[in-house]
Amino acid sequence: MDKYALNTDEEHTMDENGVHTDTDVVIVGGGLAGLAAACYLARGGASVRLYEKAARPGGRAATTVFEGYHLNLGAHALYSGGATEEVLRELGIAYVSHRPTDISVLREDRLYQFPDSISNLLRTKLLDLRDKLELGRIFAQLTGLKPASLARMSVSDWIAARARRPRVQQFLRMFACTNVYSAALDQVSAEVLIHKLQLSLKHPILYLDGGWQVLVDGLRQAAEQAGAQISTGVRVEAVEQRGRRVQGVRLANGHYVAARAVLIATTPREAIKLLDAVSAAPLGSYLATMLPAEIACLDVALRSLPDHAHPVVQDLEGPRFLTAQSRYAQIAPAGGAVIHTFKQLDPHHPSDPREDERELEGLLNRVQPGWRELLVRRVFLPRMDGVSMLPTTNIGGYAGRPKVQATGIERLLLAGDWIGEGFLADASMNSARQAAQLLLQQLSSRHIARAEAVLQ
Distances from the Cα of 145 to the Cα of 140, 190, 264, 423, angstroms:
10, 11, 35, 18
36-73 residues labelled b (16+ CB within 10 A) or e (exposed): bbbbbbbbbbbbbbbbbbeeebbbbbbbbeeeebbbbb
Is 164 a binder of ligand FAD (CB under 6 A)?
A: no
**Least distance from C-beta 280 to ligand FAD, angstroms?**
14
Is 71 a binder of ligand FAD (CB under 6 A)?
A: no
Is 45 a binder of ligand FAD (CB under 6 A)?
A: no
Q: Within positions 269 to 308, which residues make up the interface with ligand FAD, using CB under 6 A?
A: 270, 295, 297
Is 77 a binder of ligand FAD (CB under 6 A)?
A: yes
Is 384 a binder of ligand FAD (CB under 6 A)?
A: yes
Are the C-beta atoms of residues 45 and 168 closer than 8 Å to each other? no
In sequence order, which ranges of 124-250 are alpha helices (DSSP H)? Answer: 129-142, 155-162, 166-180, 190-202, 213-225
Nearer to ligand FAD, 131 or 426 (CB): 426
Are the C-beta atoms of residues 326 and 336 closer than 8 Å to each other? yes
Q: Are strands 97-98 and 236-242 parallel, antiparallel or unpaired?
A: unpaired
Q: How many residues bind ligand FAD (CB under 6 A)?
A: 37
Task: Select from 123-131, 152-160, 223-231, 384-392 the region that touches ligand FAD (CB under 6 A).
Answer: 384-392
**Least distance from C-beta 45 to ligand FAD, angstroms?**
23
Is 343 a binder of ligand FAD (CB under 6 A)?
A: no
Distance from C-alpha of 317 to C-alpha of 247, rounded to nearest angstrom? 54
Is 228 a binder of ligand FAD (CB under 6 A)?
A: no
Is 428 a binder of ligand FAD (CB under 6 A)?
A: yes
In sequence order, which ranges of 226-338 are alpha helices (DSSP H)? Answer: 268-273, 277-289
Is 390 a binder of ligand FAD (CB under 6 A)?
A: no
Nearer to ligand FAD, 34 or 45 (CB): 34
Burial of residue 170 (CB within 10 Å: 0-12, 13-18, 19+) is: middle
Is 218 a binder of ligand FAD (CB under 6 A)?
A: no
Binding mask 2-41 for ligand FAD (x = CB under 6 A): --------------------------xxxxxxx-------
Are the C-beta atoms of residues 200 and 399 closer than 8 Å to each other? no
Neighbour count for residue 351 (Cβ, 10 Å) = 16
Distance from C-alpha of 426 to C-alpha of 86, rounded to nearest angstrom? 9
Is 175 a binder of ligand FAD (CB under 6 A)?
A: no
Q: Which residues bind ligand FAD (CB under 6 A)?
A: 28-34, 51-54, 59-61, 73-77, 79, 84, 235-236, 265-267, 270, 295, 297, 384-386, 416-417, 424-425, 428
